[in-house]
Amino acid sequence: MKPDDVESGDSVKLGHPVTVSRYTLAARINHWITAISLVLLAISGLSLFTPKLFFLTALFGGGQATRAIHPWIGVVLFVSFSILFIRFWRANLWKSEDGTWLTRVRDVLLGHEERLPELGKYNAGQKFVFWAMSLLIIVLIASGIVVWETYFGTATSINTQRIAIIVHSLAAVAIICVWIIHVYAAIWVKGTMSAMTSGEVTGGWAWRHHRKWLRELVAGKRAGGTPAE
């Protein structure tokens, strides 16, 4: 049985330099569909949220078109992230080293990674983003359905819809903040962005940032099989 940190497609490729397959093509496509959907939802949602940003509706064909398209993009986001969740939830389970990582977050910011514990495929910050996204997307799709007048307008009362739109707006602001943290962290840790474009990282990168995960992959390879199997 493979460790929780090892996902389908993870493997070590010997060479000069050693490379590590971190994300499959399917996982990368899944990620970028989710990311693009979230950005489109943020832009269209903000354009409907305040008159000062209404000019952004021009990107979607005007106000009425934006109002019609916005919830459908939400459906795409929900379906895409659901698939992403199934792919990655096990590797995002909390481990004892994650608590240690959090207590030493100052060393993370200062780049003193030699003082950090050995980590699996994801660190505590990445896991926070994953679970925060999971919760907020559920809140967004649930509250969004309540205020989707075209199909569900008569299913709930006006007061319920008013509460739902407030909840929806607050969750949208929260998920935009989480997304900003995610993007900033990806840029901050050199090599993270390329991992989600090429699917691979160097052995040195894996050793520096996710040593426990690399050890598990190498152990699986030495055992005579690929860890992903």
What is the spatial distance between Cα 121 and Cα 211, in angstroms, rounded to a whole number? Answer: 8
Q: What is the DSSP letter of 92?
A: G
Kindly give the pairing relationship between strand 19-21 and strand 200-202: antiparallel
Annotated catalytic residue, options 31, 70, 168, 182: 182
Q: What are phi and psi of 144, to 5 degrees?
A: -65, -40
Q: Which amino acid is at 11?
A: S
Inter-residue long-range contacts of 23-32, CB under 8 Å, 24+ positions, other chains counted: 23/195, 23/196, 23/199, 24/199, 25/199, 27/84, 27/87, 27/199, 28/196, 28/197, 28/199, 30/80, 30/83, 30/84, 30/87, 31/84, 31/196, 32/196
Determine whether 182 is an active site residue.
Answer: yes
Q: Which are the catalytic amino acids?
A: 182
